């Protein structure tokens, strides 16, 4: 459920007219609903009320400080994949002992930052990384709490670019090699083995892949405990999908039951890293129609938002519903909705049934709260857009739109080019 609804043919976010926001701040902009974000976390949290757990929001889905602060205030933990996300998380008020550091390419300085901060644990992706963490902990006179990311070779039935649990993926350590990695970890002087980690992919819309991964990990955990390795945390990552078009993800109750049934008698704390499922349908991208263009074989609706603002359609051929901000009940046409970037791949929709819009009309690109602004860029020297949050009957700009000076901030001419 989200809080983007029509009232007398005008689209509202909670109790604020999107048309009014556009008139005051211009387009394009990302728009988030506070009520939706809060409700999504509370529903997710309640689904796991019968199990010992820590929910760690996946910051990579949407790392705006206001979004992070909502989840921090609700008692959520945080899943990070960079030093920058750690910095954002601390600024937003997350307790370090509720922060988990994932990711396949942690730099030494980022590891130091996390060690000095005393985070809950590192999800380790390789023996080489494990050795580096041990060395950095030794130099800082710290002990590093770690879990090893095990790759269970489970097909999550999702887009290949967001599948992370197969043998051919870059993530984690094969199940067969995991025992040796745990032995190695146990021998390191500045490492404390505290958990086991698994993440099989994103936008998963059935429970069977999670069940298969859990069964594989359960057997491994039993073996580890038999060899004296004390596993306290089982981090099952995130990956539960949302509805973009006609997907039918399982109810949270079914997803939770899959986890809890497998965990009975295991005496473990479950860590979950939801991202998209919390923020995806809590945000939209609002764009304005610039031009209509008709060719021999195609109709084009050219808007002021492009692939630099929302990359998912170009990168994954992802579907986002596109709705008029003011529903005039006009006839529909079949058109490509495209942006101003000089690339043929710059599209938000291809061969889409869309209302017969005209220049100046506003469009809402739905389900854009996850992997939207965080993946945006300045390609073609385009300005990054504003981010806005609505709570009840008021809207707040939570990230100002860039200006031209922002584009060159930090750049300088070397002496041989100075005038």
DSSP lists the bridge partners of residue 301 as 292, 337
pLDDT computed for residue 1 by the predictor: 65
76 is catalytic: no
What is the C-alpha separation between 345 and 368, in angstroms, rounded? 18
Q: Over the stretch 63-121, which tens digit does the pLDDT of each residue have? A: 999 999 999 999 999 999 999 999 999 999 999 999 999 999 999 999 999 999 999 99
Just give the CATH number of 35-278.
Answer: 3.20.20.10
Q: Of these residues, 56, 76, 198, 342, which one is catalytic?
A: 342
pLDDT computed for residue 330 by the predictor: 75
How would you class 357 by CB atoms within 10 Å of its CB: exposed for 0-12, middle for 13-18, buried for 19 or more?
Answer: buried
- pLDDT of residue 20 exceeding 60, the answer is yes
> Residue with structure tokens 């998963």?
204
Q: Over the stretch 149-202, which tens digit does the pLDDT of each residue have? A: 998 766 545 434 334 434 444 456 887 788 899 999 999 999 999 999 988 877
Architecture of domain 4-32+280-408: Beta Barrel (2.40)
What is the C-alpha end-to-end distance of the chain, expressed in Å?
58
What are the structure tokens assigned to 171, written together?
């993530």
Q: Over the stretch 149-163, which tens digit does the pLDDT of each residue have? A: 998 766 545 434 334
Those residues whose C-beta lies under 8 Å from the C-beta of residue 400, and which sit 6 or more positions away, are 386
Give, for 124, the enclosing helix (H) or strand (E). strand 121-124
Residue ranges covered by each domain of the chain: 4-32+280-408, 35-278
Residue 19 CA, chain-centre distance (Å), reads: 27
Q: What share of the chain is helix, strand, coil (3-state, %, to 5)?
A: 35, 25, 40
Percent of the chain, pLDDT > 70?
95
Q: How confident is the model at residue 357 (pLDDT cuts 50, 70, 90)?
A: very high
């Amino acid at each position: 459920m989200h809080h983007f609804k029509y009232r007398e043919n005008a689209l509202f976010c909670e109790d604020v007219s999107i048309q009014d926001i556009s008139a005051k701040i211009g387009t394009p902009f990302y728009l988030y609903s506070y009520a939706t974000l809060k409700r999504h976390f509370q529903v997710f949290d309640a689904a796991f009320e019968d199990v010992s757990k820590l929910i760690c929001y996946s910051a990579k889905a949407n790392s705006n400080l206001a979004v992070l602060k909502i989840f921090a205030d609700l008692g959520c933990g945080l899943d990070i994949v960079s030093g920058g996300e750690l910095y954002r998380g601390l600024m937003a008020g997350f307790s370090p002992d509720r922060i988990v550091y994932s990711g396949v390419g942690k730099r030494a300085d980022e590891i130091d930052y996390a060690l000095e901060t005393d985070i809950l644990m590192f999800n380790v992706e390789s023996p080489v990384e494990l050795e580096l963490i041990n060395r950095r902990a030794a130099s800082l006179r710290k002990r590093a709490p770690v879990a090893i990311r095990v790759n269970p070779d489970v097909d999550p039935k999702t887009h290949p670019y967001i599948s992370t649990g197969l043998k051919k993926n870059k993530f984690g350590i094969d199940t067969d090699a995991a025992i040796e990695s745990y032995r190695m970890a146990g021998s390191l002087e500045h490492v404390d083995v505290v958990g086991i980690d698994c993440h099989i992919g994103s936008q998963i819309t059935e429970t069977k892949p999670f069940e298969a991964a859990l069964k594989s990990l359960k057997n491994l955990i039993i073996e580890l405990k038999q060899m004296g390795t004390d596993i306290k945390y089982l981090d099952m990552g995130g990956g539960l999908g949302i509805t973009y078009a006609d997907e039918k993800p399982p109810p949270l109750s079914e997803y939770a039951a899959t986890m809890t049934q497998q965990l009975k008698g295991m005496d473990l704390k479950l860590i979950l890293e939801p991202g998209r499922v919390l923020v995806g349908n809590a945000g939209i991208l609002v764009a304005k129609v610039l031009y209509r263009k008709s060719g021999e074989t195609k109709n084009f609706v050219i808007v002021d938002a492009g692939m630099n603002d929302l990359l998912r359609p170009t990168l994954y051929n992802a579907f986002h519903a596109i709705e008029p901000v003011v529903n005039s009940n006009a006839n529909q046409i079949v058109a490509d909705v495209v942006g101003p970037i000089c690339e043929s791949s710059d599209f938000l929709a291809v061969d889409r049934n869309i209302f017969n819009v005209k220049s100046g009309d506003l469009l809402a690109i739905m389900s854009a709260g996850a992997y939207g602004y965080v993946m945006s860029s300045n390609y073609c020297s385009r300005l990054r857009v504003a981010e806005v949050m609505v709570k009840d009957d008021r809207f707040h700009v939570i990230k100002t739109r860039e200006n031209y000076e922002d584009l060159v901030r930090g750049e300088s001419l070397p002496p041989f080019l100075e005038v």
